[in-house]
Amino acid sequence: MRVHNVHARDLAAPPETVAALLDGLGGAHDRLWPSAERWPTSQLALERPLAVGASGGHDPRVRYTVETYEPGRRVVFRFAPGVGLVGTHGFEVEALDAGRSRLTHTLACRVEPKLRALWPVVRRQHDALIEDSLDQAELAVTGRIAQPARWPLVVRAANRFELSLARSKGELPPGGDSQAARARTDHLARLSAVAVPSTLAGLAALHAAWALGWRWPGGDETST
């Protein structure tokens, strides 16, 4: 199954301002990737500064390597073998005029058979994550978000499920386990139990498989 997924945002800022966000991606002061408060288990990290060949990912199971990097203009990541996505994703900055820019994220890949059953959930999480990233960019360069992205229920349920598992395994980043966050998690867990049981069941099955040593989302790059 081929996927060509594009998200773009026109920003009221000159291209050099937006370029600075791109160049900080994956660094200690990254202002482009969504905040840890909203995505505590999906933070992008690279093993060295942004450059061709740098490896990392935004989840222990979603790994990639920088394939192309044009400072201030474009970065492309290629998914690592075994992820279940064969292809690339990345950001590009385009100048519209002296005071306006377009920031675009493109996912261009083939979804392997082993991931297809969960692709509808994965796609919605991806879409929400990237829209949050564009919100983050808009806030950073303009000081406001005209129309903040809203998460569908299935994304909230899936993220809270991941959050609960990360907490139970002691993997939650510092500051991510506040009383308010815990209350939201408990509320959405009750709601999710009725609204999206199949989603949570699928995620639970995946995590059980991971615990037994199954390499997500399959045994190796060629397995289906």
Whole-prediction pTM value? 0.75
Q: Which of 24-28, 114-118, 144-148, 152-156 has the lowest mean pLDDT?
A: 152-156
Is residue 73 predicted with pLDDT exceeding 60?
yes
* Confidence at residue 166, expressed as pLDDT on a 0 to 100 scale: 66
**What range defines the domain where residue 202 resides?**
151-212
The mean per-residue pLDDT over the stretch 100-128 comes to 93
- State whether 100 and 138 are in the same domain: yes
Whether the CA torsion 158, 159, 163, 169 is positive or negative: it is: positive
Last residue of a domain, one of 125, 147, 169: 147
The mean per-residue pLDDT over the stretch 96-101 comes to 93
* Confidence at residue 177, expressed as pLDDT on a 0 to 100 scale: 45
- State whether 37 and 140 are in the same domain: yes
* Residue 68: CATH number of its domain: 3.30.530.20
Q: Looking at the 3D structure of the chain, how many domains does it have?
A: 2
- State whether 113 and 164 are in the same domain: no
- State whether 43 and 110 are in the same domain: yes
Q: Which residues of 110-137 are buried (b: 16+ CB within 10 A; e: fewer)?
A: ebbeebeebbebbebbbbbbbbbbbbbb
The mean per-residue pLDDT over the stretch 32-37 comes to 89
Can you name the residues that pair with 130 across neighbouring β-strands?
none
The mean per-residue pLDDT over the stretch 34-43 comes to 84
* Confidence at residue 98, expressed as pLDDT on a 0 to 100 scale: 86
- State whether 142 and 184 are in the same domain: no
Residue 82 lies in a domain: yes
